[in-house]
Amino acid sequence: MSAARPRDLRAATRWRIGWPRPRRVFSQVLLMQLAVVGGVAVLATGLFLAPLSAQLDDQAMRRALAIAQTTAAERGLADALRTASGPDPAGPVQTEAERIRRTTGAEYVVVMDRRGVRWSHPSAAEIGKHVSTDPSQVLAGREVMQIDTGTLGRSARGKAPLRDADGTVVGAVSVGIAYENVRDRLIGAVPGLLAYAGGALAVGAVAAYLVARGLRRRTHDLAFSDISALLAEREAMLHGIREGVVALDAHSRIRLVNDEAQRLLDLRAEDTGRPLDEVLPPGRTADVLAGRVTGADLLTVSGGRVLVANRMPTEDGGAVATLRDRTELEQLGRELDGTRGLIDALRAQDHEHANRLHTLLGLLELGLHEEAVEFVTEAVGVHRATAEQVTERIHDPLLAALLVGKATVAAERGVSLRISTDTLLPDRVVDPPGLVTVVGNLVDNALDAASGSPDPWVEVGLTARGRTVVLTVADTGPGVPADRRDLVFTEGWSTKEPPAHRKRGIGLALVRRLAERQGGSARVDGRDGGPGARFTVVLPEALTEDTAVPLTPAGERR
């Protein structure tokens, strides 16, 4: 026999131990809504019946008063009270009162004199007796409406003074309508009211069922405890993964941001609920997250970090964006490019070195010793002159080593790397690695551009103006068209084919981002005097305070 499903086991358990509170969202919401609809229907019915009862009472009292006023208007009653010797069950007062009672359907019509003695009553035995309720108000000339209990039981009463032709109060008329009639009218209204309440309850039940069924479809028929567990797991997962996650609503407001996204985008937990364009500066990162730039694995730079972003729209018009930090990978890629270039340079140098050794060996075998000495001196002097030229003008060791290495690579590629005559950089750089990144990216791009030109050369200038460093890199390549000079600093934009291990379009974006982070700028112009490009980077506060004696370009103290 096949094993029972968990749902079947739960159902069997319910029948054995009793029907517990339902766990599914559909059942709980449906029961809750039915209870609310039923309660509202009962409350509305009660709230309607309460004023209806009071309204029926008021109508009965007003009807009784109207009958009393009509009876009191009969002139013969006042004359009969004044001329007759006393109450008489067969007298004209009793006859007229009974006629009015039968005509109007009232329970009683009682006419009393100023002493409160009855002159008429449905029961002849009560004629000549004092009324059972206080008649002082009506005998004082005031009309009275009330619900009271008398000799004929509980009734709605209306009392009117009885006046003679001169307007003198000579008695009063009291009319009563049986309270059972009022109650019968109230009970008669209940079935119709219950029918309306039942119809409203049925409509509410159907609406509750439809809402609960839609909710069941959206929650996949899960229990509240299951939904709570899923939310807890989602929170743990979102804050535990090493990818940044940003959820946006249909109006580009941040709905959720995990810890990694806060770190990558420099956000805070308080930014949740705010528009994306308010918490991120204008640029490619905000455009990618907002969906203004579309595509897969889009590169962007945020705070000096290289990020890969992907954006997935959601059904409600929002989106979920994921961010991966590729900063270290990009650095490794650039180091790999540099290593490959160095390997190519070493391979070329090895080939050139072998040629020089063969030449030197031939000179020695031919006995041309002086020519051999001159050949070796000239070969060594070229490299030494380049190193001395760099170290004389650039006193930061990291930058000097970088440019010496780049000069060697440039020579092997057939490009001349020059240092401008106005270059002078003291050893007071605040952030040498950052400046090395800027210089290295610009020189690499310039070497790529100048290679293959008729007169290939690259010129680097580094000057200090107080604490500000101005970097210029010029080349003899094809240059940058005027309409694309703003695009070259955009993440992902490049005119070169990307290598296999990484994407292009990051170097110049990092240059501008590092410059702007220090309050500086980066721009590109055409080269004066011919084709090519000239990049200028201004880095304020890039040097520490000058407390030493200034240096000359030759490195001597003044």
* Sequence-distant (≥ 6) Cβ neighbours of residue 251 within 8 angstroms: 275
What one-letter code names the amino acid at 203? Answer: V
520 assigned to some structural domain: yes
Q: Give Cα 354 to chain centroid, integer Å.
A: 69
Q: Do residues 400 and 298 share a domain? A: no
Residue 418 CA neighbour count, 13 Å, CB half = 14
CB 60 within 8 A of CB 176: no
- What 3-state class would DSSP assign to 419? strand
Where a domain ends, among 325, 346, 367? 325
- Establish if 11 belongs to a structural domain: no
In a domain? residue 230: no
- Do 318 and 396 belong to one domain? no
Same domain for 252 and 139: no
Specify whether 400 is located in the same domain as 505.
Answer: yes
How many whole angstroms separate alpha carbon 197 and alpha carbon 495? 76
- What CATH number has the domain bearing residue 88? 3.30.450.20
Provide the number of structural domains found in the chain: 3
Q: Are residues 310 and 433 in the same domain?
A: no
What pLDDT digit, counting tens, does each position of 40-98 carry? 767 766 666 666 666 777 788 888 889 888 888 887 788 888 777 788 888 888 888 88
- 411 part of a folded domain: yes
Where a domain ends, among 300, 325, 350?
A: 325
Q: Is 460 helix (H, G, I), strand (E, B) or coil?
A: strand
420 lies in the same domain as 294? no
pLDDT at 17 (0 to 100): 40
Q: Are 412 and 509 in the same domain? A: yes
- 396 and 531 fall within a common domain: yes
Same domain? 174 vs 254: no
Among 545, 513, 519, 543, residue whose Cα is nearest residue 430: 543
Read off the DSSP letter of residue 484: G
CATH number of residue 500's parent domain: 3.30.565.10
Cross-strand pairs, 273: none
Q: 473 exposed, middle or buried (CB, 10 Å; 0-12, 13-18, 19+)?
A: buried
Residue 93 lies in a domain: yes
Name the DSSP class of 125: G
Enumerate the H helices of 428-496 as residue ranges.
432-450
Hey, is 236 helix, strand or coil? helix
191, part of any domain: no
Cross-strand pairs, 248: 254, 319
Q: Give the gyration radius of the chain's Cα atoms.
A: 53
Residue 383's SS3 state is helix
Could you give the CA distance from residue 294 to residue 301 in angstroms, rounded to a whole number? 16
Amino acid at 474: A
Q: How far is CA 310 from the centre of its chain?
A: 20
**Same domain, residue pair 246 and 177:** no
Q: Shortest CA distance to 268 belongs to which of 280, 277, 286? A: 280
Q: Which among 445, 461, 474, 451 has a CA at the least distance from the CA of 532?
A: 474
Instruction: Render pLDDT for 221-237 as a digit per residue (tens, 0 to 9).
Output: 665 566 666 666 666 66
- How much is the pLDDT for 555? 45
List the one residue out of 465, 453, 449 whose CA is nearest residue 535: 449
- Does the predicted model carry a pTM greater than 0.75? no
The answer to whether 404 and 442 have CB atoms below 8 angstroms apart is no
Q: Of 112, 147, 181, which residue sits at a domain end?
A: 181
User: Containing domain of residue 454, as a range?
Assistant: 392-539
Indicate if 302 and 424 belong to the same structural domain.
no
- Pick out the chain residues at pLDDT < 70: 1-30, 33, 37, 41, 44-54, 150-154, 179-190, 192-194, 196-197, 204, 208, 212, 214-240, 303-304, 327-353, 356, 377-386, 491-506, 546-558
Let me know if residue 464 belongs to a domain.
yes
Question: Does the residue 249 lie in any domain?
Answer: yes
pLDDT of residue 460: 93
